[in-house]
């Protein structure tokens, strides 16, 4: 507690009882030296400044954070990731064949909506193609699974630091998030650090904070170059061992040879 305020040389005391008075009225001018005397007769209260400084750190340590849950790069990462988030944090790579079959059934049942113009191949060809274990899922499959699970699926792209929201206009109450680096998908979850509390993977579509957190994650990954440039990444055909550069070369090679099993080098 301040016992008093001294001004000038030699120091003289100032009357501070009237809180309405201006500094000029007290005889204080620019350049004057002020001395504050501390009243040592009163016990010091706990510093509110210290309390304010320490509290946020304490809170920050116990707040859940949005994080990537890494799944295997085994040609089925999209399906493993979507299953993980829609099922509330259930990791099961064995889910992929069932999800591929489910997509094929949905597509086959509606050849008008899922025509060659949409799929890039005939309805029948697509159904056979998506059921193969070496086929990669993408936007078409995310869109189909968004409708099936009745939830908005947000794909956070680390190359462009943007979010593609599938099912955004459908009025779904639930939202799940994936992070995508140009080739690989991982699920996003909100979890307490160093805790056994189960992670949260299903959010409300009114929770825009989680979208902001997801963009922060994507931007951080982009700055660390944690993404794959699909036009420059190197692949090897696992059938004939030919080296290829980029998605376009891999696609052309598949058309020429029928080989569709590629591994990233």
Do 104 and 220 sit in the same domain of this protein?
yes
262 and 135, same domain (yes or no): no
CA distance 149 to 156: 19
124 is catalytic: no
Considering the domain architecture, whether residues 239 and 139 belong to the same structural domain is answered as no
Separation between Cα atoms, residue 26 and residue 40, nearest integer Å: 25
Q: Tell me the residue range of the domain where 124 lies.
A: 64-228
pLDDT reading at 64 higher than 90: no
Asked about 184 being catalytic, the answer comes back as: yes
Give the whole-angstrom CA distance, residue 152 versus residue 143: 9
Which CATH number fits the domain that encloses residue 202? Answer: 3.90.70.80
Determine, yes or no, domain membership for 191: yes
Q: What total number of domains does the chain contain?
A: 3
Tell me if 72 sits within 8 A of 95, measured CB to CB: no
Backbone torsions φ then ψ of 100, nearest 5 degrees: -65, -45
Do 96 and 211 share a domain, yes or no?
Answer: yes
User: pLDDT over 90 for what percent of the chain?
Assistant: 52
Residues in the chain: 265
How do residues 7-16 score in pLDDT, each as one tens digit? 665 666 666 6
In a domain, 51, yes or no: no
**One domain for residues 78 and 198:** yes
Measured in degrees and rounded to the nearest 5, phi and psi for residue 47 equal -70, 120
In the three-class reduction of DSSP (H, G, I as helix; E, B as strand; rest coil), residue 251 is classed as: helix
Do residue 108 and residue 163 come from a single domain?
Answer: yes
Do residues 209 and 167 share a domain?
yes
Residue 77 is a catalytic residue: yes
Question: Using CA atoms, how far apart are residues 189 and 180, in angstroms rounded to an integer?
Answer: 14
**205 and 125 in a common domain:** yes
Active site residue 74: yes
Whether residue 88 sits in one domain with residue 36:
no
- How many angstroms separate the CA atoms of 247 and 229, rounded? 9
Tell me which residue has tokens 């997509």: 103
Confidence of residue 221 (pLDDT cuts 50, 70, 90): confident
pLDDT value of position 42: 57
pLDDT digits (tens, 9 = 90+) for 35-48: 655 555 655 555 44
Determine, yes or no, domain membership for 149: yes
Are 13 and 23 in a shared domain? yes
* pLDDT attached to residue 33: 59
| Six-digit token string for 195 | 């805790």
* Overall average pLDDT of the 226-237 stretch: 61
Would you state the structure tokens that stand for residue 109, as one six-digit string? 């049942």
Q: Is 154 inside any structural domain?
A: yes
Please tell me whether residues 92 and 188 are part of one structural domain: yes
Same domain, 101 and 180: yes
Catalytic residue among 154, 184, 237, 253: 184
The H or E element spanning position 78 is helix 77-86
Q: From the candidates 39, 74, 208, 229, give the one annotated as an active-site residue.
A: 74
Threshold 0.85, pTM exceeds: no
């Amino acid at each position: 507690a301040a016992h008093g305020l001294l001004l000038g040389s030699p120091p003289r005391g100032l009357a501070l009882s009237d809180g309405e008075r201006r500094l000029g009225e007290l005889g204080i001018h620019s350049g004057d030296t002020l001395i504050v005397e501390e009243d040592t007769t009163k016990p010091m209260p706990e510093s509110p400044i210290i309390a304010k400084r320490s509290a946020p750190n304490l809170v920050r340590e116990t707040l859940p954070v949005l994080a990537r849950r890494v799944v295997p790069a085994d040609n089925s990462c999209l399906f493993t990731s979507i299953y993980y988030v829609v099922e509330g944090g259930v990791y099961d790579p064995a889910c992929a064949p069932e999800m591929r079959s489910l997509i094929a059934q949905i597509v086959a049942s509606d050849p008008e909506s899922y025509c060659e113009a949409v799929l890039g191949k005939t309805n029948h060809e697509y159904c056979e193609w998506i059921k193969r274990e070496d086929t990669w899922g993408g936007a078409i499959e995310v869109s189909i699974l968004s409708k099936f699970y009745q939830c908005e699926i947000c794909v956070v792209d680390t190359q462009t630091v943007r979010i593609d929201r599938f099912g955004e206009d459908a009025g779904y109450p639930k939202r799940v998030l994936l992070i995508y680096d140009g080739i690989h998908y991982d699920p996003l979850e909100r979890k307490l650090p160093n805790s056994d509390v189960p992670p949260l993977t299903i959010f409300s579509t009114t929770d825009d904070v989680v979208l902001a957190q997801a963009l922060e994650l994507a931007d951080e990954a982009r700055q660390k170059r944690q993404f794959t440039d699909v036009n420059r990444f190197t692949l090897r055909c696992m059938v004939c061992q030919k080296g290829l550069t980029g998605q376009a070369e891999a696609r052309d090679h598949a058309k020429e040879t029928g080989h569709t099993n590629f591994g990233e080098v």
